[in-house]
Amino acid sequence: MIEEERRILESIEAYGWYGVHIFDPELETPNFTYTVGFSQTLNAPEFIVFGLHRDVMFDMLDSVFRQIKAGRKLKENQAWKGLYEDISCVARNVAHVEAFSQYAVMADWFWKRGGNKGHPGLVQLVWPDWLTGAYPWEDGCRDSVREAQPQLWS
């Protein structure tokens, strides 16, 4: 077992989940953070968010964890208010065929370590353009906002 795998297992045992943060020092690809453990602890999909500061993304995912743990039910295109200041994010089911090989590698490892087949569910939290309020799939969303959030949903 490598060091990161041990940290993941210890965090899930202690807190119910673990956040994996990926940062490209060359800034060629957007940074992102995703969860490991929601599938076991909450019987819910894992979550991923792109393009914001690491601490902001971690806090957003922690808020999602606490809301689901408190009984919030999940559905496609669901608005998540208050994850970061007064910005509403939208939860989109991930359908990207390489989502687990390119992005949520450790979530997939944890899922398969538990004896499961296939992949866990994965939901992308998508945030709007803070200047226009438009989401990446809407007119008026700036290119920089679209580029910061790869479209993993269908």
- Pick the closest to residue 128 from 110, 148, 112, 113 (CA basis): 148
- 153 in a domain, yes or no? no
- 132 in a domain, yes or no? yes
- 110 in a domain, yes or no? yes
Q: Are 94 and 108 in contact (CB under 8 A)?
A: no
Q: What is the pLDDT of residue 46?
A: 98
Give the chain's domain count: 1
What DSSP letter does each residue of 23-57 carry, written as one string? --TT-SS--EEEEESHHHHTSS-EEEEESS-HHHH
Q: Beta partners for 90? A: 79, 126
- 154 in a domain, yes or no? no
Give the C-alpha distances (Å, rounded to integers) separating 13 from 5, 8, 89, 90, 91.
12, 9, 28, 29, 26
Per residue of the chain (154 residues), what is the pLDDT tens digit? Answer: 699 899 999 999 999 999 999 999 988 899 999 999 999 999 999 999 999 999 999 999 999 999 999 999 999 999 999 898 888 999 999 999 899 999 999 999 999 999 999 999 999 999 999 999 999 999 999 999 999 999 999 8
- 94 in a domain, yes or no? yes
Tell me if the pTM is above 0.85: yes
CA distance 111 to 121: 10
Domain membership of residue 41 as a residue range: 3-148
- Per-residue pLDDT tens over the stretch 13-28: 999 999 999 999 988 8
